[in-house]
Structure 1
């Protein structure tokens, strides 16, 4: 008879998608300390790849979708982060975390109509990634 290798309360395996979701949550938490009011009604999502209908020459890392409609039938403001394009650009796990943060900062800046330097004065988000 075989026993368990790990106690039941220890996660045995986190997928790449799970780890990426955690990076997005970490980035949002980092930015929420300063921008909680502006982010209060923003929904964050992770998708593997952007829609096929992307017409730009460059594959986007994230996308801001303004709110649509009014009342309960409307959709909230949304920032979608695309996992596979970001993973393809990252050289290591530290770079991956930076790219996630940069992508979110870029979309927040677009949403708020400000320069990315306003969102994160520490220097993220306005490099040549986009």
Structure 2
């Protein structure tokens, strides 16, 4: 008999939990082989950003023109960066044939949020403020859900 399944005094096989770590392996069985059952943090953030951007962009597409939306892990901060803080988003205005580009920086945004609701609110605030700056209008006009001070 294998030492890991020795019967205890009650006659049932005893399972060894050598270091008290508990169950090993995935807690959720994947539905598609080779693909994790749970989404990664990046996938969850991308889904939130996509839903916010799609909602706002749908309303303002006729005035915005071509805009590219992107998510990057973190901004490239130069070594001589002052202590003004890490940017959460960036807006690069388009020139000539190049479209305007709005970039959200995932890691600094996630670092400032404790839950999904806070994350959604911060992403909405950043997107609305950047698009309001691009359009030259008040952020509350861009989206009625925007609350200053978020």
Output the TM-score relative to the length of structure 2.
0.69
Q: In the TM superposition, what is the alpha-carbon distance from 1:126 to its structure 2 partner?
A: 2.7
Q: Does the alignment pair 1:12 with 2:34? A: no
Structure ranking higher on relative contact order (CA contacts 8 Å, 6+ apart): 1
1:126 is matched with 148
2:16 is matched with none
Larger radius of gyration: 2
Q: In the TM superposition, what is the alpha-carbon distance from 1:121 to its structure 2 partner?
A: 2.5
The CA RMSD over aligned residues, in Å, is 2.2
Where structure 1 has 5 or more consecutive residues not aligned to the other structure, the ranges are none
Name the structure where helix makes up a greater proportion of residues.
Answer: 1
Matches within 5 A, 1:17-56: 17-53=42-78
Q: Which runs of 4+ in 1 moved over 4 A?
A: none
- Size of the aligned set, in residue pairs, is 119
Output the TM-score relative to the length of structure 1.
0.79
1:59 is matched with 86
Q: Which moves more between the two structures, 15-24 or 55-64?
A: 55-64
1:97 is matched with 120
